[in-house]
Amino acid sequence: MDWSRAGQGTFEMDDPVQVGLYAYSHPTVREAVLRCRDFRILGRASESGKATASPPSPLSRRGAGEQGRKGEGEREFSPAPLLPSPSAGKSGGRVSEPQGDETKMEALKEQQLALLCRVGRMVNSTLDLEEVLSSAVRAAVEATGAERGMVLLLDEHGAPRISADEGVDPETAQDAERISRGILEQASRSGEPVITLDARMDPRFSDRESVRIYGIRSVMCVPLRVRDRTIGMVYLDHRGAGGVFHPDDGPFYMALADQLALAVENARLHEQLKQEVVHLREEVGAQYRFDRILGKSKRMREVFRTLEQVIPTSVTVLLRGESGTGKELVARAIHYNGPRKEKRFVAQNCAALPESLLESELFGYRKGAFTGAAQDKKGLFEVADGGTLFLDEIVDMSPGLQSRLLRVLEEGCIRRLGETEPRPVDVRVISATNRDLEKELKEGRFRKDLYYRLNVVGIELPPLRERIEDIPLLAAHFLKRFSKEMDKPIQGFRRDAMDRLLTYPWPGNVRELEHMVERAVVLGRGDVVRVEDLPGPLRGETSTLLDVGIPEGRSFQEAKAEFEKAFLERVLRTHRGNITRAAQVVGLDRANLYGKIRKHGINVEGMRREDVKRET
């Protein structure tokens, strides 16, 4: 129904109050009301018992003091005022005084702003995509006075597909998908909503089956755009009423569509992130599956039996073993196969940081707790809340930090630096060391009470030289992985090359074997690994690293320092200044090696520059 044409068309509602509310939501009706000195809604009792209301007509435009006549069966209603007015309380709900254009526009803007705020709260109350789409349709219908609506999103081919609807029949839905292609193109070009005041007279819509069958008259299509990109559109219509959507309200419709588009895009991005998180968790879980820890030796079978019993629980675990035996790999397997796998796994090497930094890293701090504490920071215990905290080289922790760690394990609470109130945390602690822990306990460098707390279950990881039967299995696994990564079709090891692997003592354990196989794949030229592809020590060559040329007359400490410097320089030069690789070869963690480099003033950058010059 086109309210701008007074006296044309009627509609039915169960309650005449609904007529007033309906009129209040339409700018064209408000304009008609504001032009009248005396506006009344006339209801006729229909055969169905409903009230039949007419739009503004000449009959309702009475002058002051003029006695109007009621037709047969008419009833006079006094609905609530359609727009606030200073005289509303005196005139029984009528707009008794004419308002200026400025006042009318201000009232309209205020109402539209209130509607936008309400819509914003509605569509941003959730990040679930289905709920956002459903809220978007309801919000669009309510805010514009439409009868029905749909949200259509573009699929991967750019075609609009209905994602949510409100009271739309199948025929209209099909027509909307067909119509929306052209409308989208038009709306994208113009950047404005596409509105028809009467679909029966509009060639874009008049031939549609739904328009003929259901008497659709008012139609509006508004593009949903995010960052200059169209992601879909909102389709709204009204049956039996023309002119429901007015071009003058285009800015309001576009602002409404922008809110809906942003909410939909946020929900879609949230859904994508959720799917990516699930995918990454599955990948990480697969990478650290229990069966990825390889071994068939008796010692490893004992480790597997213990892990099967430990993984389903939340008890603290102490992993012991030489450097390179895979302690962190086992810790991750415990986490990602246990009940805490949906939460964080956080690892910290206790030997990598000085005491003060390690304390703030583990427990966090409050803004202003010390110089440089510019803002609050969570510690690793809070970051790992609900998950697992892996503390490597636990023996290198200072006595003061050992005391704080013991309190956390006993009370389940931490206190940030600079705070007095405790914060509860639920963290599974897995610790590890490659040191002789009994010796540390005996000499008083490690607290016994903390040792008992950490060592609820202790797992000893055997060195590779004590599980020789696992070497072929591990070597084949690493060969398959690196051959695939480097796209080199290497099938296996020659018999004499495998014999060298089985007789080598492997001071660097599994880590050394892994890097040896990687080197063989990089340098190998055939389809199998030969003895010539192995590094010098495995070929039986004598290492020249001990030939450092220390002059006579040096004290033991001086000779030791000179040997350490020369040894590290040669290893670093061999590995082209790669600190991480050098640390793996010599069996040190990266932080310790970096400290020795600073101590001896070794010029690693110079080694890297020399290597670049040689290559160029």
pLDDT, residue 562, reads 80
- What is the band of 385 on the pLDDT scale with cuts at 50, 70, 90? very high
Residue 214 has pLDDT above 50, yes or no: yes
Please compute the mean of the pLDDT values over residues 134-158 and round it to a whole number.
Answer: 82
Q: Which of 146-150, 193-197, 454-458 has the highest mean pLDDT?
A: 454-458
186 and 162 assigned to the same domain: yes
| Lowest mean pLDDT segment, chosen from 88-97, 205-214, 539-548 | 88-97
Mean pLDDT, the chain, as a whole number?
Answer: 76
Q: Which of 21-25, 116-120, 142-146, 438-442 has the highest mean pLDDT?
A: 438-442
Q: Say how many residues make up the chain.
A: 616
Residues in a beta bridge with 151: 164, 234
Pair type for strands 216-226 and 229-239: antiparallel
153 and 222 assigned to the same domain: yes
Q: Who wins on pLDDT, 541 or 450?
A: 450
Determine the structural domain holding residue 604 and report its residue range: 556-615
pLDDT, residue 294, reads 87
Query: What are 492's two structure tokens?
Result: 């296996």
Stated as kind and residue range, the H or E segment containing 74 is strand 74-77
Query: What are 455's two structure tokens?
Result: 């060592």
- What is the band of 284 on the pLDDT scale with cuts at 50, 70, 90? low
Residue 603 has pLDDT above 80, yes or no: yes
Question: What CATH number does residue 515 fall under?
Answer: 1.10.8.60
pLDDT, residue 609, reads 65
Residue 143 has pLDDT above 70, yes or no: yes
The residue with tokens 């986490």 is 335
What is the dihedral angle through the alpha carbons of 110, 115, 119, 125, rounded to the nearest 10 degrees? 70
117 and 132 assigned to the same domain: yes
58 and 144 assigned to the same domain: no
49 and 77 assigned to the same domain: yes
For the chain, what percentages of helix, strand and coil (3-state, to nearest 5) are there? 50, 15, 35
Phi/psi region, residue 19 (left: phi>0; alpha: psi -120 to 50; beta: rest), is alpha
- 41-45 long-range contacts, Cβ below 8 Å, gap at least 24? 41/16, 41/77, 41/79, 42/70, 42/71, 42/74, 42/75, 42/76, 42/77, 43/16, 43/19, 43/74, 43/75, 43/76, 43/77, 44/71, 44/73, 44/74, 44/75, 45/73, 45/75
Total of domains in the chain? 5
Round to whole Å and give the CA distance between 229 and 129: 19
- What is the band of 287 on the pLDDT scale with cuts at 50, 70, 90? low
378 and 472 assigned to the same domain: no
- What is the band of 189 on the pLDDT scale with cuts at 50, 70, 90? low
Any domain includes 93: yes
Round to whole Å and give the CA distance between 145 and 27: 10
Q: CA torsion sign, 432 to 436 to 442 to 444?
A: negative
- What is the band of 8 on the pLDDT scale with cuts at 50, 70, 90? very low
Task: Identify the domain boundary among 442, 462, 482.
Answer: 462
pLDDT, residue 550, reads 57
pLDDT, residue 310, reads 95
Comparing C-alpha atoms, which of 438, 401, 468, 473 is closest to residue 320?
Answer: 438
Angstrom CA distances, 209 to 267, 462, 502, stand at 34, 78, 81
Any domain includes 284: no
- The DSSP output letter for 417 is B
Residue 48 has pLDDT above 60, yes or no: no
Round to whole Å and give the CA distance between 438 and 333: 26
Any domain includes 2: no
| Lowest mean pLDDT segment, chosen from 120-124, 263-267, 316-320, 388-392 | 120-124
Residue 162 has pLDDT above 60, yes or no: yes
Tell me if 501 sits within 8 A of 530, measured CB to CB.
no
Residue 412 has pLDDT above 90, yes or no: yes
Task: Identify the domain boundary among 99, 132, 147.
Answer: 99
Any domain includes 323: yes
Tell me if 336 sits within 8 A of 293, measured CB to CB.
no
Task: Identify the domain boundary among 271, 301, 323.
Answer: 271
| Lowest mean pLDDT segment, chosen from 30-44, 127-141, 459-473 | 30-44
311 and 400 assigned to the same domain: yes
Any domain includes 336: yes
325 and 304 assigned to the same domain: yes
476 and 354 assigned to the same domain: no
pLDDT, residue 289, reads 67
pLDDT, residue 448, reads 94
Question: What CATH number does residue 409 fall under?
Answer: 3.40.50.300
Comparing C-alpha atoms, which of 258, 257, 235, 243 is closest to residue 149?
Answer: 235
